[in-house]
Every structure is written in C-alpha cells, then in structure tokens.
Structure 1
C-alpha cells in the first residue's frame, strides 16, 4: 500500500506531527522532495525534535528513506543525527537509507543563494539554504550526488571539474573574499561522506520491492501545495514540485501503485515570506493566531503571516493532489475567536470566483468573501473524541467537509502526539 502525504497550503501545516502519528501503521517512510529549507517539528514526552531532512517517523521502528528528488546538505543531516542521539535515537544504515542519486547542497550553492536574494529588487523570501541552486545543478547535469561524496576519489575528480566554473560564476556575482572562502570550504565533505556511506541505497528499488511484498509505504512531502514550482504562486514558490504526483516521479514508483493521498491542512492559513495571502489578518485576529499557534518558522524563525481558512485555495489543492482525505491541524488555536470566518469565494474585478485565478498578480488583488460561524471559548486540547469537542468546533469541521467535499477523519488539537482525534 502506498500513501502520499502533502501539505495543502503554504507549508507549516503540521506534517511532522501527522507523520509521527501515522508512522506506526507503515513499514517505510520516504521523503520525496525539497531540502532543509523545510522544517518538521515532532514533540514527544516533553522533548521537541526539529527535523529538516530526516523523515518525521524517525521515532518509530520503521525504515526511513531519502529519495533522489531531495537535495541534501550533509552537514545539516549530521547535525540532526546528533540532536536525535542526544534524545536516545540512533540513526544508522539500517534505520535510514539515502538514494545514491540524491543531490548534495554544496557550500557554493548557499553563497549563490545569499547573493541572489540580496541583489533582487523584489525579494522572494528564500531561506538562503542553497536549495534553488542545488536543483539548478541537477537540471544542468552538473550536480554532486550522494554517490560522489561516499567515494573520495570520485568526489575529488568531480570537484576538479566543477569548482573552477563555480568560482568564476561567484566572482561575476560580486562575491567577496569571505564569501569565496565559505563557498569553497569542501574538505569536510570527505569526512561526511565516510560517515554517511553506510546509508547509500536505491530508493526506487526498495520501495517497489516493499510494495510487491504487501508492505505499507508513506511518501512524505515537504513545504505545501501552493509553493509548487509549477502550480504554486510563482515566483513566491520553492524549487521543487510539492504536489502528490511528484512523489511517483521522485521516488521512482508508478502512479498505479498509489492507494491514498492525504492532505494536511491547518484550521486557518499561514505563510512565511513574500507572496499573496488573500485572507491575511493584521489585527487582533492575526496576532491571536500567531501567538496561540506559535507561528514561527521551524527553519528560519520568521514570524508567519496568518489568516482565515481559504476554501478556494483548498479547492485547487484538492484538484492538484487528488486528496482522498484531509487531516485538520491546530483546531485548538481558534478557541477564543468569535465569530470564526471561512473564505468561501473571492471577488475580483466585479466577478465572484470560487477557484483561485491562474496569475499570482490576480490572486494578490482578490478580496475574500466570508461566511461566519459561531466560535467557542473552551480549551479543546484535552479532547480525545469528536463528541468531546464543543458543538461550534464540530460544526466548523463539518462545514469544511461540506465546502471541500473531502472527509476529515483526523483532527489535531495540540502539538503532542496524544492530542489527536481519529474519527
């Protein structure tokens, strides 16, 4: 059985917690795209693990895979190993496999990213982790792959070929001496490759063999649907395809093998960085969502922009991903707000739209049309069944199901693993 799980908004929907909840039902959890620009937070037993590369099911006895559609910074991965080891979790070659073709985020990618963002007249809001430039090298066939760094002689030959052109490029971008020094600090890669060599694998082969044996595989995406490089709110997007179809291409498994597609959706909406957010709230409501929801980016620490639930954007997410079910997170954050609003459509140039316009510039001009529902004051973080929720909270969930036409069988009422309602 193959399940694909993606974020349905702009990322930060709570995928880390949801994967942690679902993990016991799966044999393999495979990350299929993105880099360490995405952060997944898992809270268990008073401990908080902030993961950027390792799939979120790391706390369970499951096989973890990083697919060739991912771009990986070995230094960040090794830092995650150390964080987990401090918590008593050892990640060895039996626990984690990394595809031989996974692209490596090199130091020069990070410096290029920094320089490019600084020079832009209109900022994108990149995390400056080198993600875009690593993907550019994949497309131009000038990448360093995981198979390269686990073989010292192979890595030396690759660097001798690549580095002169990268130096010329950085000098043309105006890199100073300090930036050039950081960009070409590559000696640590040899030791990192040696430490990580036990993790090399063929992810496509592993996944297909597991499925043929009747095992259960969960494909875990990073970021969110509307940050997709093709279908997102360009140019304010990430550098990979974040939608469900990307899982098949990136992991190397046929689409006929997919059984379920699960979308993670926050009970409101948030966005980090630039780009349109039609329902954004700047007053007391937005501040409530930020403070109560702890809306700070896992990777950057930046304050997230917050707004009411946006149904038109979710309709597009459902079309792009083909969701069979949704998981609703952070329902508890809406407690204390009355009324609670749901954006059911947009007004644009005198026309009512129930689906987002194609152009990002048009989306930025849309005015949300709201439906109001009764709020609740009760603390729902301790609710363990749907029936324990206040009637207004239940009605909110049911109304979303009516508007979206997709069931919501799982509801999160807090950051802890146990704060989950399964209907």
Structure 2
C-alpha cells in the first residue's frame, strides 16, 4: 500500500508520535491533516526527546513534511517549534517543509476568546488547551478567517483584518475586555509573514503528484477518534474531524485507497473533562498514570487512566475503516496481577455494544468487564512476538477478538527499536 493513515482510536495520547516516526522511515512524505498546536507528539531518539505540536513527525527523519489545509496554524508557535528542533540538529527549510497556502491561521486574540468561552461555561468546562484552536475553526466555518495565502496581499489583508475586528469587538466590549486593534493585528501578521510565507505551497498538488509517482505517503492524525467534533463524546470534543476520512478534505488528496492503522494504548487515558466509562479512580488508576508517565505533551496536565475499552475501540475501528491496530505501552501493564477489558456496556437492564451519542445515556453506562491474569514479567524492549509472555499474548489476542481488528504493531518502549512488527502497513 502506498498510502498509510495513522489515527488515534481513543481520546488522544495513544502514542501516535512514536509509531508515525517509526513508520516514516519507509515514507517519502509525512502529512498532517487536522488539528493545531492543541495536541502534541513526543518522539524519543536515544537521549533526545522531541515534542512536536505542529511539525509532522517525519521532520526528525528528514522526510518531506506537509501541513495540510485541515490544520489551523499558529505561525508564531510554529516559529518557536522550528527553532527548538533546529537546536537539536534537525534541518527545516522550504525544501523539506510545505504548508498549505489555504491553511487557516490561529491569531493571538483567539486565545483570549478561548479563555473567555471556558470561563463562561462555569462548572461545565470542556477543558480546552486555550490555544485558540476552537475560535480559529469557528472563524474558518464563518468564512471570516485569515488564511496563509492572505498574507501575500497587504492591502486585502488589512481589509480582512478590519472585518474580523468589527465582528469580534462587540463581544469583547460586552464582556468588558480590551478591544482588538486592527493596526496591531495587521502589523503582527505582516511581521510574521516574512517568516511563514517561504513555506506556503499548494500542497494538494504536491500530494497528488507524489501519488502519481508512486511515492509512499504517511498521513498523520492528531488527537483521537473519540474527540471528533461529530462522533466524539460531544460536547467534550475538539473542533475538528479527527477520523481517517478527514485526510481528503484536510489535504486535497484525490480518491485513493489507504491503509488505516489505528493507534491504541493497552489501557485507556483521557485529558480534561468528559465521559470515561472505564476510568479508575483508585490505586490502579494512579499506578497506570505513574508507570505510563501520563501527562499531556502540550499542557502537562495529568491524564485520567482506566482499563482498555474494547467497545469504544471497536466503534472507532468501524468509523475509521481500520485495517489494523498498533498497541502501545504494553509494558505499563507488566506488574499488574489482574487486568480487565471492557467488553460491553449496561444501561439500566439493557446491554449494548456501542457508545451512545447523548450525554444522559453516557452517564448511565456501567462497563461489563472480563478479567485476565497479568503476566508479571517485563516486556520492555521486546522485538519479537514469540518472546512475549504467554499471558501477554492472550491479552492481545483478546483485544483482537473483542475489537474485531487484528494487531500488526506492538510498542514495548518509547524507543524506536522497542517495536514488534507483525505486518507492515506499507
């Protein structure tokens, strides 16, 4: 398969960065297709750790890296991120990094709107990163956003900024917030344009021309399927579509067959508010968080932890059209005496095998568990299936059976080489 799409099957933080980095060795292009710098990937190479929020993970392997139009881009954050990776010896220039010219920009005042929106929710906060991602998508859908290509014409840029300010200022005034200045926003955009314009490109052409040349393309998703604006745990979701189908509208990819690899932890985590059927508010949950170092890449917020939820992963398998699963952080479970997997839900007296859309039904869910014995031995760094403990194999086979999806990749450590490959997606 010449195209592979990587998506998270849970609420993000599944370990996509490591798997994308590992697979990008065989790819010619690595493409981001949604989200912004509200989610991050952590890549560990020997003693160096790279934390990426906007740059595609392929950048650390010197692969052509593309930011698609489905991404909302904070150019100031990108500038800082590029400077950070350059300090660690990574080359970034217009020959390796391409940004869709029709990408929507995240403007500084969007963070103020994000914070205002959260404060107005009171006890019903969503738990956003307050990076301005939601407001950027709102202005995109409202057809008033500033796009990367707008920076090329200063006269028209000023007009668009003026229109944007006139739209937002009444709300700032109503809430007694500092009013926006057309001059300040315009000047900041003109200044950053000297940096960002060099990467602007019609990436849809690059992607489709690469396909014609049979280049191998790796599409890199951010966040997770359960945060999808339509199919996630609404309203505790992100502002973009995180499913595999987003690669088409988020990059300009034409009709093409893709191998879709779903990344999932051997257990479940979630950052921020929202339903979480298998959450463990006990010593086991604390153990998983400590062993897995479960803190957000972007916000450093503590992640909530729980047992593997096969109902949710099976649902995201269907929504994404997954070909297979990659299991990460198996080693986190090494010391547990018993391990549980959620195989179904009970709502009152009814048993269901899917996650309902409405919040009331979600609040009534009681997980149905099957219990498996732990393997009580180290799996860290194992590179072959036959070297895994028998009980670890049984655990993985049970996940395959309950999710109706085969496992082709198993990650046993943060390092690139701590990976078992059962079947290559490429």
TM-score range, shorter chain: over 0.9
User: Secondary structure of 1:24's match?
Assistant: helix
400-409 or 270-279, which deviates more: 400-409
Distance apart, 1:360 and its partner CA? 3.0
Name the structure 1 match of 2:54.
53
The secondary structure found in structure 1 opposite 2:258 is strand
Counterpart residue number, 1:281: 280
Could you tell me which residue of structure 1 aligns to residue 312 of structure 2?
313
Q: C-alpha separation between the residues in 2 aligned to 1:66 and 1:382?
A: 32
Which residue in 2 is equivalent to 1:96? 97
Q: 1:379 to 1:150 in 2, by over 3 A?
A: farther
Q: Secondary structure, in 3 states, of the residue corresponding to 1:191?
A: helix
Q: Distance in 2 between matches of 1:83 and 1:355?
A: 42
Residue of structure 2 equivalent to 1:133: 135
* 1:140-171: CA deviation from partner (whole Å, max 9, x where unpaired): 11010011235444433322332233223322
Counterparts of 1:103-252 in structure 2, within 5 Å, are 103-121=104-122, 122-176=124-178, 187-252=187-252
Matched with 2:65 is 64
**Which residue is equivalent to 1:25?**
26
Distance, in Å, in 1 between the alignment partners of 2:33 and 2:251 is 6
Contact 1:150-1:194 at 8 Å conserved across structures: no
Give me the CA root mean square deviation. Answer: 1.6
Contact 1:151 1:193 in 2 (8 A): no
Distance of 2:86 and 2:153 partners within structure 1: 26
| Separation (CA, whole Å) in 1 of partners of 2:108 and 2:184 | 6
Structure 1 residue 2: Cα displacement: 1.9
Alignment of 1:296-375 (within 5 A): 296-375=295-374
Equivalence for 2:408: 409
Question: Any idea what SS the aligned residue of 2:168 has?
Answer: helix
Q: Which one is further off, 150-159 or 38-47?
A: 150-159
Q: Partners in 2 of 1:376 and 1:347 — Cα distance?
A: 29
| Alignment check: 8 A CA contact 1:110 1:183 kept | no
2:261 touches 2:326 (CA, 8 Å); kept in 1?
A: yes
1:186 deviates by 5.3
Number of the residue aligned with 1:83:
84
> Is the partner of 2:229 in helix, strand or coil?
coil
Quote the residue 1:38 is aligned against: 39
- Runs (5+) with no aligned partner, structure 1: none
C-alpha distance in 1 between matches for 2:193 and 2:385: 48
Q: Is the 8 A contact 1:3 1:258 kept in 2?
A: no
- State how far apart, in whole Å, the 1-side matches of 2:393 and 2:182 are: 53
User: Shift of residue 263 of structure 1?
Assistant: 0.4
Measure, in 1, the Cα distance between the counterparts of 2:272 and 2:316.
20
Q: Which runs of 5+ in 2 are unaligned?
A: none
Q: Is the 8 A contact 2:14 2:264 kept in 1?
A: yes
Instruction: Output the CA distance in 1 between the equivalents of 2:288 and 2:186.
Output: 42
Aligned length in residues:
420
Contact 2:165–2:182 (CA under 8 A) maintained in structure 1: no
Q: Deviations over 1:359-381 (max 9, x none)?
A: 23312220111101110222211
